[in-house]
Structure 1
Amino acid sequence: MNNAQQSAVITGAASPRGIGKATARRYAKDGWAVVVLDLNSEAAQVVASEIAAEFGVPAFGYPVDVTNEDSVLSAHRAVAAEITAGRLPSVGALANIAGITSPVPFLETSLDLWNKVMAVNATGTYLVTRAFLPGMIDQQWGRIVNMSSVSAQRGGGVFGRVPYSSAKAAILGFTKALARELGAQGITVNAVCPGAVDTDIRVGTTPELEASIVKDVPLGRQASTDDIAAAFVFLSSEEAAYITGSTIDINGGSHIH
């Protein structure tokens, strides 16, 4: 399957300094058409327009709340309509990137906060994958790449605490089980586990905290969004056809296991 004839769907892809936007741009640079899905409708459309203009590939922006099944299905229908109309090629890759974190200690974590963090990170990955997977099965080819975190592997310790680590750990189990289930149908499923990344996802951070994070990284810096984007696009390529059920660590050596 030639990725130049496929669309990549990226969730959480409109934040100006986010991994999702960097990943959408990297897919486009490699010749994929892109679908920019984000909670911010206007920003999603702006990013899609910018990508289409810069890279000359089909690009489509649409709003989605990944925690809401009706919203996810609406986005899927909109993408399907673009494919039917010939404005987008069929979907070959799905990058589940939308996520939120929380630095709140466990005993200060309300049930509402727990549910929100789990819903955006874990349930959102489930809902979006469930919507776009049938099309991949129909064509017997697909690439699903899920965003986990080093926090799932080491039990937090970077910024996110118990709810975030739990949600990202759920994604690792989801990834492995789904990879086993879909392998015979030409679909790979992998996870990416970044360490600290220079984005705006962290809230309430301080220069001292940022410095302490870098101090623990053997490579001496946080990851850039492009560092993470490159892994998503590689795992969606033909070159990665024999990689499935894997977890790719991108942490600069801060967690080696």
Structure 2
Amino acid sequence: MNKKTALITGGASGIGKITAYKLAEKGYQLVINFRNSESEARTLATHLNKVYGINVITIQGDVADKDDCIRIINQSLSVFSTIDVLIHNAGPYIHERKKLTEYSLEEWNYLISGNLSAVFYLTKLIIPSMRNRKWGRIITMGFDRVETAPGWIHRSAFAAAKTGLASLTRTIAMEEAENGITANMVCPGDIVSEWKEKNISDSIHSSGEAAPVGRPGTGEDIARVVSFLIEDNSGFITGSIIPVTGGMDVLNKVNRVKID
């Protein structure tokens, strides 16, 4: 029986990296996509190959670029016979707080392309072969309450792209259900950078800011959900938007505006 292969965009660091570990534990062959983190990607690939004995390749590419998406898929399929799982973890984000009118046209287009159009580019290329095998898993990433199309102050482009992606994810799920392909969105809560590559055990006795459940969220919290959704027996779960927030009302926290 051939091993399944998963493509993780933005897989060299953060939540993508810890998700790679979870899938490696399951025996998946992996394609680790990165944009700038070549050293981190290669180190990760070498380590996963050594520890888990799986075949791992790294491919540079900016998912906001259509041609790069095509190249990523072509290079993946030149090594592996299939791409069975797509985890679209990469998501351009601008940390600077600014209103819609302050975004440049280039910034707006880049955020929309990287967070929304990229999923169209990639799934258009891999769904036909998934249909042939009558099996496939597509995972996208959102944010808390994305399915309600909420406003997110100072994050207009990112919020618009992810809201559109929520609808696209559900549409893919409906269109491809008959082909054994599922599509689901996982929505991380307020997981800060220092916790994105940590395990749940690291957070149990943390004295840092905690969610209502009593501890910070970690990358493992997200990776465990992704790992569950791609299992064979998870085929009944599709078109779902799953918040993993520890009970925190994330948008209510970030949308508070200080009035001078």
Same fold (TM over 0.5): yes
Of residues 71, 76, 84, the one that matches 1:74 is 71
**CA distance in 1: counterparts of 2:117 and 2:185, whole angstroms:** 15
Q: Which amino acid aligns with 1:5?
A: K
Calculate the TM-score normalised by the size of structure 2: 0.82
Report if aligned partners of 2:7, 2:86 keep a CA contact under 8 Å in 1: yes
Aligned length: 234
Residue of structure 2 in register with 1:58 after alignment: 55
Residue of structure 1 in register with 2:9 after alignment: 11
Residue of structure 2 in register with 1:118 after alignment: 112
Report if aligned partners of 1:114, 1:163 keep a CA contact under 8 Å in 2: yes
1:23 aligns with 2:4: no
Q: Deviating runs (4+, > 6 A) in structure 1?
A: none
Report if aligned partners of 1:12, 1:98 keep a CA contact under 8 Å in 2: yes
After superposition, the Cα gap between the structure-2 partners of 1:92 and 1:229, relative to the gap in structure 1 and judged at 3 Å, is same
**CA distance in 2: counterparts of 1:98 and 1:92, whole angstroms:** 18
Of residues 226, 230, 239, the one that matches 1:245 is 239
Q: Which amino acid aligns with 2:22?
A: R
Q: What pairs up with 1:126-165 in 2 under 5 angstroms?
A: 126-150=120-144, 152=146, 153=148, 154-156=150-152, 161-165=155-159
Residue of structure 2 in register with 1:207 after alignment: none
**CA distance in 2: counterparts of 1:221 and 1:129, whole angstroms:** 35
Q: Which runs of 5+ in 1 are unaligned?
A: 85-89, 203-212
Of residues 165, 171, 178, the one that matches 2:172 is 178
**CA distance in 1: counterparts of 2:209 and 2:40, whole angstroms:** 31
After superposition, the Cα gap between the structure-2 partners of 1:164 and 1:77, relative to the gap in structure 1 and judged at 3 Å, is same
**CA distance in 1: counterparts of 2:119 and 2:209, whole angstroms:** 29
**CA distance in 2: counterparts of 1:38 and 1:32, whole angstroms:** 18
**CA distance in 2: counterparts of 1:253 and 1:116, whole angstroms:** 31
Residue of structure 1 in register with 2:199 after alignment: none
User: 1:15-35 CA deviation, whole Å, 9 max, x = no partner?
Assistant: 2xx111111111101221111
Give the secondary structure class of the aligned counterpart of 2:224: helix
**CA distance in 2: counterparts of 1:12 and 1:200, whole angstroms:** 17
Residue 42 of structure 1: CA displacement? 4.2
Report if aligned partners of 1:67, 1:127 keep a CA contact under 8 Å in 2: no
**CA distance in 2: counterparts of 1:55 and 1:199, whole angstroms:** 26
User: 1:45-79 CA deviation, whole Å, 9 max, x = no partner?
Assistant: 33222211122111111112111222111111111
Residue 132 of structure 1: CA displacement? 2.0
Percentage identity across aligned positions?
29
Calculate the TM-score normalised by the size of structure 1: 0.83
Q: Which runs of 5+ in 2 are unaligned?
A: 197-207, 251-260
**CA distance in 1: counterparts of 2:120 and 2:39, whole angstroms:** 25
1:83 aligns with 2:69: no
Residue of structure 2 in register with 1:99 after alignment: 91
Report if aligned partners of 1:190, 1:245 keep a CA contact under 8 Å in 2: yes
Supply the RMSD in Å over aligned alpha carbons. Answer: 2.4
Residue of structure 1 in register with 2:185 after alignment: 191
